[in-house]
Structures are given as C-alpha cells and as structure tokens.
Structure 1
Amino acid sequence: MATKAPVTCHVLDTQTGKPAANVQVTLSKMDNTGASFSSLAQGITDADGRCTNIMEPQALPVGTYKMTFATKPYFEASNRETFFPFVEIIFDLKYPEQHYHIPLLLSAFSYTTYRGS
C-alpha cells in the first residue's frame, strides 16, 4: 500500500517569488476511448503552494491523467489579471509504483512545468 498520494503538485508564483496558496487543483483520468476526462479528486494548495493530499494513498492504474489548476481565482484574489484562467497539464502515468509530482511555475502571462520528484 502506498504511503502518500500517488500524484502531488507544487505551485510557485514566479512573479512574486512565493508559493501560490489557495489554488484549486483537480486530478482527472482519461476514459478508455480517449474522448474525455473524469474527475478523480480535488484539492487546494496550502501556504507552501503544495497539494500533497489531493487523494488518499493508493495505486492508480496506468493511463493518461490531467492536473487542472484554477489560476484565474488565484490572480483575482491579489487584484492581478492573467492570460490563463486555468492551466491543464496532461501526462501519462506509466509506472503505478512510482510517485508523480507535478510542479507548476506560474506567472500571469506564462507557465512551465516538469516532472518533479
């Protein structure tokens, strides 16, 4: 049995140089036809910009997943505009025994991501 959520994330606001707290995060899985995603879990980033408890520790099946970050409300809360109302990161989970960490480096008009550890 896994000891932590199989997928976690971390959001950093590169404009302010600080963690992005209170960003809603949704984890979804692509259906077998590849036509749509179904929501599996939701969470909110903590004061350190992390969402480590988006779901209970468990193994996830191999498949294509999507992490959606609701960025517009985050920027609106600090009276900033953004070009991206949300950010979707789609990734293949090929090794269910491994942990998948999705960092998001965010500013109002750009973002980048990578597979973290």
Structure 2
Amino acid sequence: MSSHLTTHVLDTTAGTPAAGVEVTLTDAHGQDLATAATDADGRAAVGPDRLPAGTYTLTFATGSYFAARAVETFYPQVTVAFVVTDDADGTSSRHYHVPLLLSPFAYSTYRGS
C-alpha cells in the first residue's frame, strides 16, 4: 500500500543542519511527485502521506545550497534511490526516513528511523 517519507540534511563541514535544500521526489517512471525544502533544522516531509510500493528517488539540490554560501562543491545534486515495500499483509505502515550527510566533496546516506 504506502508509506510516509521524511529527510534530514546535515552539513557535516559546517556542523549544522542544512536549511533551504530543495528536495524532489520522483517515481520509477521519472515523474516528479513532490518538491520540498528543508527547514531551519534541515528536515523536510516530502510528498504525500503515503507512497505505494515501488522504487523512488530523492534529488537534493546541493549545488544551489552551497552556491548560496559561496562554497565550491563537486556535487551539484545528490540523487538517492530507495525502495518502498509492503508488509506481508499487503499494507505498509512503515515510516521511511532518508537522511543525507553532506559536505562539498562527499556525502553519505542511510535508512533512518
């Protein structure tokens, strides 16, 4: 059935949340489903409250974020692909959290809670 999606972006070089990062949610067909921007704490809820099972991407506009701070970056954007799955009963009540740890020349992500 579906799942709730959030993200949290941390600027590891500055040691602060990354506020104002635009995030776009796209489905497996390349269709943009939603866009959000991280708040002052670097957090954003993206898209509808529930997502059907499938493969999605979150694209973070990291180039714009660093440009606004006059910081050179190697990555103009970061795209993270992930899979939303149903539970055994065909429904999904799981919360999907996709954090991004970001610096101008490196990034990492993981499945959060």
TM-score (normalised: structure 2): 0.89
- Residues 1-117 of structure 1: pairs in structure 2 closer than 5 A: 6-31=4-29, 37-52=30-45, 54-57=46-49, 59-95=50-86, 96-117=92-113
Structure 1: where are the runs of 5+ without partners?
Answer: 32-36
Aligned to 2:89: none
Q: Which amino acid aligns with 1:84?
A: Y
- CA–CA distance in 2 between the matches of 1:97 and 1:27? 19
- CA–CA distance in 2 between the matches of 1:55 and 1:89? 15
- CA–CA distance in 1 between the matches of 2:54 and 2:48? 18
Give the aligned length: 107
Aligned to 1:34: none
Task: Give runs of ≥4 in structure 1 deviating > 3 Å.
Answer: none
Structure 2: where are the runs of 5+ without partners?
Answer: 87-91
1:20 shift after superposition: 0.2
- CA–CA distance in 2 between the matches of 1:60 and 1:22? 24
TM-score (normalised: structure 1): 0.86
